[in-house]
Amino acid sequence: MLQIDGLHSGYGRIEVLHGVTLNVARGEIVTLIGANGAGKTTLMQAVAGVQPSAGTIRFEGKDIARVPAHLRVGRGISLVPEGRQLFAPLSARDNLRLGTWSRSGAEIGKGFERVCALFPMLAEMMDISAGALSGGQQQMLAIGRALIGNPSVLLMDEPSEGLAPVIVEELARVVKRLAAAKELAMIVVEQNSRLALDIAPRAVVMDRGRIVYDGDSVTLRDDPARLEGYIGVVKG
């Protein structure tokens, strides 16, 4: 479904991604881990189209490397950005509505139903401003905003960052539920390596803008020395 080949990206003269190649199949969930500065967020933003890049990005067989970000959303690629990036003054309902811009009619209603089924707590907070929600509720809203447009590829950047353990467990449950449905391809960037290796059967490790491991999560989880060698101190 998603094929990334020879992807380069950076900021000014500083190149961050050095020819990254990664394929993700329909219904597959991949966890992306690595030390700070490894290039994980840059890769996610490049795939979403909000970060300039050079190379090939193919989605459902078509090269989208030159397609602008908003059209990638319309085609089915949604990003849950690091830090949530919600519109704080707007209500939860209006933040979700922003995720439906490429959909119409009954699709929008089904999208709201889907989000409320995944996050029942949000159903009770639709008229509350996003800025008044707790960190965990905001993260649920950010994920809901990305899901409400019924994407085919979901990119999640640091979903557990700064959240209480009980909320992290809830988010992990939702990710596993989405994965079990086999409807979405997902790439999840996660600093909590233990959580990351638990939620996805396939792990990809980045180091200084390159992929240094692409394989079974259990194999990596059961080799702490190797994992620490890749990412430094193991979190989780």
Residues 38 and 55 occupy one common structural domain: yes
Residues 67 and 3 occupy one common structural domain: yes
Question: What is the per-residue pLDDT for 132?
Answer: 97
Q: How many structural domains comprise the chain? A: 2
Helix segments in the chain, DSSP class H: 40-48, 69-75, 92-98, 106-118, 120-123, 135-147, 165-181, 193-199, 217-221, 224-231
Residues 28 and 54 occupy one common structural domain: yes
Residues 70 and 157 occupy one common structural domain: yes
Residues 57 and 108 occupy one common structural domain: no
Q: What is the CATH number of the domain that holds 165?
A: 3.40.50.300
Residues 56 and 110 occupy one common structural domain: no
> Do residues 53 and 38 lie in contact, with contact meaning Cβ atoms separated by under 8 Å?
no
153-157 and 185-189 strand pairing:
parallel
Residue at 77: amino acid letter? I
Question: What is the per-residue pLDDT for 105?
Answer: 78
Question: What is the per-residue pLDDT for 235?
Answer: 57
Using CA atoms, how far apart are residues 144 and 38, in angstroms rounded to an integer? Answer: 27
Residue 194 has pLDDT above 90, yes or no: no
Domain that holds residue 58: 1-76+151-236
210-216 and 202-207 strand pairing:
antiparallel
Residues 158 and 123 occupy one common structural domain: no
